[in-house]
Amino acid sequence: MAEPPDDDRSGHRARLRRRFLTAGAEALADYELLELMLFQARPRGDVKPLAKRLIARFGSFAAAVGAPVDALAGIDGMGEASIVALKTAQAAATRLLGEPLRDRPLLSSWSQLLDYCRVAMAGLAVEEVRVLYLDRKNRLVADERQGRGTVDHTPLYPREVVKRALELGASALIVVHNHPSGDPTPSQADIAMTRQLAEAAAALGLVLHDHLIVARGGHTSFRAAGLL
């Protein structure tokens, strides 16, 4: 099979890079930002058709970068190097958003916390539960994945959560999980589990500050919704 034409010969890659550096990301369409990332994985060949296929499949730059690995692998032209290029960008965004949270009280950094949780979890294909363990000043002690389940259920064991809190010397908790359906509305199982965890935490002098559900369609705070 003939090698795809090197689109650098036409200057396309150089022009796109120059426009990004001089005018910023705002001057580029979503598929052009994906092109820039794919350049790193595919030094030769025209990646514009692949970038446009990604947008057509997932709808936006953010959704494409946050898409599950198996979904990306199903796109024609997406090999391992291209998948790694996109997932590296997601990992970088998660770390950039998460780093400032480590040195300040989370309850006074709520919008940053929500941004971090959405980037880290909203695009996952299955449910995942994370627990943020906090000290007496509500600073982050640990951010740990507590469980991973199916597309609509993740088991969470209150006894294990509070046991881990005691091991870490934590004083408070924030639970976060995602809804792959895109709808952040709590289920009855979510509500029941949260009440069980709040009771187990209170019995040992721990505070459950909130339970957040993040999804592509938004988020729900149990505290704000009166469910906690």
Query: Which pLDDT score is estimated for 5?
Result: 47
- Tens digits of residue pLDDT in 106-156: 666 788 888 888 888 887 777 889 999 999 988 888 888 887 655 455 678
Q: Which residues pair with 214 in a beta bridge?
A: 178, 219
CA distance 139 to 120: 19
Binning pLDDT at 50, 70 and 90, where does residue 217 land? confident
63 or 184, which is more confident?
184
Local structure of residue 1 (DSSP, 8 states): -
Residue 4, CA distances (Å) to 7, 37, 45, 46, 194 in order: 9, 18, 5, 7, 54
Binning pLDDT at 50, 70 and 90, where does residue 26 land? confident
- Tens digits of residue pLDDT in 35-73: 999 998 888 889 999 999 999 988 888 888 888 888 899
Binning pLDDT at 50, 70 and 90, where does residue 103 land? low
Q: What is the mean pLDDT of the chain?
A: 85
What is the rounded (10 degree) CA torsion for 180, 185, 186, 188?
Answer: -110
Q: Where are the domains of the chain?
A: 7-95, 104-221
Query: Which pLDDT score is estimated for 2?
Result: 37
- CATH-assigned architecture of domain 104-221: 3-Layer(aba) Sandwich (3.40)
